Structure 1
Amino acid sequence: MRKFCISFAFLLFAFVAPAQHVKPCKPCAELKNLQLPDVTILVAEANVGDTIKEPNEPWRGTVVIQKPFCRILGRISKEINFELLLPEESNTRFLMSGGGGFVGSIQNDFQRKVDEGFATAGTDTGHEGGGDAKWAYNNMERQLNFGRLAIHRTAVVSKAIMQNFYCAAPSKSYFVGCSRGGGQAMMEAQYYPEDFDGIVAGAPAFAWPAIAAKFLQHSQHNYPNPKNLSPVITTDNLKLLQKEVLKQCDQLDGSVDGILNNPSKCKFDFSKLPVCANEKPESVCLTETQLAAIKSIYSPLIVNGKQIYPGFPFGGEAEGGSWDPWITAPISARQKEPSLHHMFSTNIFKYLIFNDSTFNYSKYDFKDFAAETAYASSYLDASSADYSAFKKRNGKIIFFHGWNDAALSANATIEHYNGILKTDKDAQSFARLFLLPGVLHCGGGPGCDDVDWVSLIIDWVEKSKAPDQVVASKKVGEKVATKDIFAYPKE
């Protein structure tokens, strides 16, 4: 097993007591000449209201910022690019956004928060192009930046720039991310507990080789022939499956509403699914091959007697944005490749685990998985249940996960949180978990998915208001539905 040690002592500065508002002590343009170790300021421009577009990610839309701010674009070391937006009238808080997938572009989901006085930042994590992981091929620096370093370095540099611009360090610092961003959040809490006072980790991708292995298991069942990537599980199968899951389990929470309040209580009887005669696929039944592929998704991946990754909860199988596109997607005009599980697993194994672009997913047998993935896990994973250093500095962390997330299993987050509770009997004094019924990956689905996580973490950090429950909402037409979600393990 290859071992390495990362030590990054960058810049030290003292925090100031919280203040209501702080204004700049120097012009924005002067930051262009700011000298920080291993940092290049590329752009420092003042804006009196601006429209910010993301040319590489049009799906993010256009962000209009109404109030004056200073925009910084910079580069750390060779290729960690970042954006920092500094409001003319600051509320003294630093708020950093996590990224999604393989990242590969500067992702700052809180640009609009500048109007509320937050200084906000995002980074591309040290590479361009996030549609696959080819950027990581035989490039250890990019691998380490993506897995362990880029968020930390961007946070330290951003706070140093704030110190120069406002002549005051941020009063409090926050990080909020989902998916890859959720894993980044956990990495920060575990390895760099001094970076943030409050952290929100949504649907976290925190054990990358294990996730890739589970995805690969699905792909081997659903796309058994790499030369013919038509999925075994069809759209009709998903409709049939979800109908039967709801028939057996929807009433368990006392409300027949198409949502399982707690899918772990669903003891699904697969024998009640209709089986096709002679393995001939039809829309009203499942072949044995299709049934085996479906069962593999709900089942944990076990290698050499050890669970690598848990199975996925029941519910939401046929919802838009659920198993299709994540697990069972056919190649189409909309989806140029097979499922996202297929894409992520093959890319992770090719470029982050084996450095072998010829890796054939269909032939992998998992028998040497632990040894083969040890190096990648050492810089990609944030799976420790020990948050004692974060707790010691009075840090607070909120985890959340949609129960019907088809991208990353809610069971993985539950198991991790249970590990925290086992490690520290007082864990709920600094860590809470919320499970959102009927919600897909980071949002979507029929469940209430809109929660103001930023306000919740600020209230916990600054007002000692621990979130025993949250109010989740969803707009349906002209009406807004709400649901009270209690902190796990309560329902």
Structure 2
Amino acid sequence: MKGLSYLFAVVVGLTPLFALGQISTKIGSCVPCEQLKDLQLPDVTIMEIETMSNEAIEADDYWAAIADRKTSFCLVRGKISKEIKFELLLPAQWNGRFLMSGNGGFAGSIQNELIPYINVGYAIVGTDTGHDENLDGASWALDNMERQLNFGSLAVHRTAVVSKSIINSYYGDYPSFSYFIGCSRGGGQAMMEAQVYPDDFDGYVAGAPAFRWPALGAKFVQISQNNYPNPNELSKTVITNDNLRLLQEHIFKQCDALDGLSDSILNDPRDCHIDFDMLPLCPNDTAGAECLTKEQLAAIKSVYSPLIVENQQVYPAFPFGLESGDAGWDLWISGTSQYLEGYPSLHYMFGTNLFKYLVYNDSSWDYSQYDFKNFFEETKYASAYLDATQTDYSELKKQNGKMIMYHGWNDPAISAYSTIEHYEEALKVDQDLHSYIRLFLLPGVLHCGGGTGPDQVDWVTLIQDWVENDHAPERVILSKVEEGNTMMTRPVYPYPKVTIYDGAGKSNDEKSFGVKGK
């Protein structure tokens, strides 16, 4: 796939890491790294052991995130059961903590976004979730229940359990604290762990979580049917980049200044109410650069409308804002991004692959003919192993666990409204939810990062401080960094609180913002 490294960053990318946590204790290994080759664990194969020195790190681009530090560690590559591969990094000086990194997309490779944290002593692991394909499809799941279940939840759980056993064998002790951090698919994995295996980790960070798979796939299919009505002409998209430019200009004209700033950031898209009748329609319905055809307008409206089946909402609408630009609608919805090759859009890719291989087990399934009838009945099996939709977090609470959830308001991949709805439903179950789970909504931020708003923060340190010191995140300062320079800082507050501008201060300074709501 063209521009795969860029696409991987978009689909998977955890927010860049800056303020790394400090080592509180230093524990050296009890056994030489090489002796782990002889470690015997049930249903586990140790495939490779390697001591990584700074010299070896510098010679390998994969470890670029830590190459400039005097870091050494024991690298353990292994396999659980038939094909769950994992990669565990054990630092020479351990701080007593364990981090697990989530995956993106359909997984299929070890996607460890937390490698920089080995510099400050964390033991870190990642897994491919039990199959060996990358982000561009799910054919690996066809008629393979073991792979489906591994992807759904078992691979992360089993990797966590095995990793802790190896850590104990290496250091002579189990982790004092364990954390799971993920975005997109990784955010859904965090929620699955918190709901089903809450004692695996003490703290979780669930970013832009993909936690309602058939429902999300159905929304993707609905949008693709409107944008690619002819399955034989997938190179022809209904929505164009000119449409996106006009649409964003129209939305910002009506809504950008509602929060007191004209800065291409909608502080709360729920305040934005768009009059689509004000959009210019093309004369004689002939497509043009400065107007919309009826078909283009209908395709656009499908994104902003909830998917309703049998008088029930399957999936909510997407919020307004940031329709035009890199890694927005062009990549996910319209398919007009230069980084796409092989699929018309990421909505199309994920939606069609999900239904073909994880719902219907039918590689010939045709998205264009899908009428959504019997959706709820026919997706029960897939939802049973894929969805992290339980709203009772009482077991996490009993374990004294904590979870931070976050979502970019302008995420074109997964609607922020879906995460908000889940949080609201969980609040109905436990009005004390705020004491152990908090949700943060990031204005002007796309999927897992990017956009016009600030998107960078050290989530690891925040969740660690909450778990270990009982310092709940009350005000999180986000940064926007370009070429190493901090261009903007702004605060976000736990939902349902909303950040507000003071009307006078510098718009790029977090000190100019306060909070609205209780």
Report the TM range for the smaller structure's normalisation: over 0.9
Q: Which of the numbers 126, 136, 144 marks the counterpart of 2:130?
A: 126
For residue 13 of structure 1, what is the aligned residue in structure 2?
none
In structure 2, relative to structure 1, the CA distance for the partners of 1:437 and 1:174 (3 Å cut) is: same
How far apart are the structure 2 equivalents of 1:479 and 1:20? 31
Mapped partners of 2:337, 2:33: distance in 1: 48
CA contact (8 A) 1:201 1:398 kept: yes
Once the 2 structures are TM-superposed, how far is the Cα of residue 46 of structure 1 from its aligned partner? 1.5
Question: How far off its partner does 1:319 sit?
Answer: 2.1
Identity %: 58
Match of 1:228 among 230, 233, 250: 233
Residues 11-47 of structure 1 deviation map (CA, whole Å, 9 limit, x = unaligned): xxxxxxx971211111111111100000001112222
Aligned mate of 1:144, from 149, 152, 159: 149
What is the Cα-based RMSD across aligned positions, in Å? 1.6
Other-structure match for 2:497: 490
- Work out the CA distance in 2 between the residues paired with 1:25 and 1:479: 42
SS of 1:67's equivalent? coil
Change (3 A) 1:147 1:33: same
Q: 1:476 to 1:88 in 2, by over 3 A?
A: closer
How far apart in 2 are the matches of 1:340 and 1:121? 27
Residue number in structure 2 paired with 1:419: 425
Runs ≥4 in structure 1, deviation > 4 angstroms?
52-55, 60-63, 331-334
- The answer to whether the 8 Å contact 1:52/1:62 transfers is no
Shift of 1:335: 2.8
- Aligned partner of 2:374 among 340, 345, 368: 368
Distance apart, 1:51 and its partner CA: 2.2
Cα distance between partner residues in 2 of 1:35 and 1:177 = 30
Q: Does 1:155 align with 2:160?
A: yes
**C-alpha distance in 2 between matches for 1:235 and 1:61:** 35
Question: Matches of 1:117 and 1:63 in 2, distance apart?
Answer: 12
Assess, with a 3 A threshold, how the Cα gap between structure 1 residues 331 and 463 changes in structure 2: closer, same or farther: closer
Q: Is the 8 A contact 1:54 1:62 kept in 2?
A: no
Is the Cα contact below 8 Å between 1:331 and 1:337 reproduced in 2? Answer: no
**Equivalent residue, structure 2, for 1:7:** none
Give a deviation string over 1:135-176, Cα, whole Å, max 9, x none.
Answer: 001111000000110000000000010011000000000000
- 92, 111, 114: which one pairs with 2:115? 111
Residue 251 of structure 2 corresponds to: 245
Aligned residue number for residue 9 of structure 1: none
**2:301 counterpart residue number:** 295
Which among 428, 431, 434 is matched to residue 440 of structure 2? Answer: 434
Per-residue CA deviations over 1:110-155 (Å, capped at 9, x if unaligned) read 1121110000000000000122001001111000000110000000
1:378 equivalent to 2:399? Answer: no
Aligned to 1:304: 310
- State the distance in 2 between where 1:264 and 1:324 align: 23
**Residue 47 of structure 1, aligned match among 52, 57, 78:** 52
The corresponding residue for 1:82 is: 86
| Aligned with 1:281 (options 277, 280, 287) | 287
Aligned residue-pair number: 471
Kept in 2, the 8 Å contact 1:313–1:404? The answer is yes
- Kept in 1, the 8 Å contact 2:66–2:119? The answer is no
1:390 CA displacement: 0.5
Matched residue type, 2:182: G
CA drift of 1:63 comes to: 5.0
Q: Do the aligned residues in 1 keep the contact of 2:77 with 2:86 (CA within 8 Å)?
A: yes
1:87–1:117 contact (8 Å) kept in structure 2: yes
Change in CA separation of 1:263 and 1:152 when aligned onto 2, cut-off 3 Å: same
Equivalence for 2:409? 403
Match of 1:214 among 208, 214, 219: 219
Q: Where does residue 13 of structure 2 map in the other structure? A: none
When structure 1 is superposed on structure 2, of 322-331 and 95-104 the one drifting more is 322-331
2:83·2:130 contact (CA, 8 Å) conserved in 1?
A: yes
Q: Answer 1 or 2: higher relative contact order, Cα 8 Å, separation at least 6.
A: 2
1:23 is the counterpart of 2:28 = yes
In the other structure, the counterpart of 1:481 is 488
> What secondary structure is seen at the aligned counterpart in 1 of 2:252?
helix
| Aligned residue in 2 for 1:183 | 188
The CA distance in 2 between the partners of 1:317 and 1:146, in whole Å, is 31
Q: For residues 345-404 of structure 1, give each alpha carbon's deviation from its aligned partner in whole angstroms, at most 9, with x where no partner exists.
A: 000000000000000000000011011100000000001111110011100000000001
Task: Give 1:22's aligned amino acid.
Answer: I
2:173 to 139, 154, 168: 168
CA distance in 1, matches of 2:98, 2:413: 29
Write the distance in 2 (CA, Å) between the matches of 1:166 and 1:485: 39
Unmatched 5+ stretches in structure 1: 1-17
How far off is 1:476 after superposition?
4.0
CA contact (8 A) 2:65 2:116 kept: no
Deviations 1:242-289 (A, max 9, x none): 000000000110111111000011011111101112211111111111
Using the TM superposition, name which of 60-69 and 231-240 deviates more.
Answer: 60-69
1:54-91 deviations in Å (ceiling 9; x for gaps): 99xx8x96652631210000000000000000001100
SS of 1:66's equivalent in the other structure is coil
Q: Which amino acid aligns with 1:474?
A: K
Structure 1's 301 and 182: CA in aligned 2 closer, same or farther, altered over 3 A? same
- SS of alignment partner, residue 307 of structure 1: strand
| Aligned match for 1:34, one of 14, 30, 39 | 39
Kindly provide the CA deviation profile for residues 324-355 of structure 1, in whole angstroms up to 9, marking residues without a partner as x: 11000148674332010000000000000000
In structure 1, how many angstroms separate the alpha carbons of the residues matched to 2:139 and 2:208?
A: 25
2:332 is matched with 326
Do the aligned partners of 1:218 and 1:297 also contact (CA within 8 Å) in 2? yes
Q: Is the 8 A contact 2:65 2:115 kept in 1?
A: no
- Against the structure 1 CA distance between its residues 249 and 53, is the aligned structure 2 distance closer, same or farther, given a 3 Å change threshold? farther
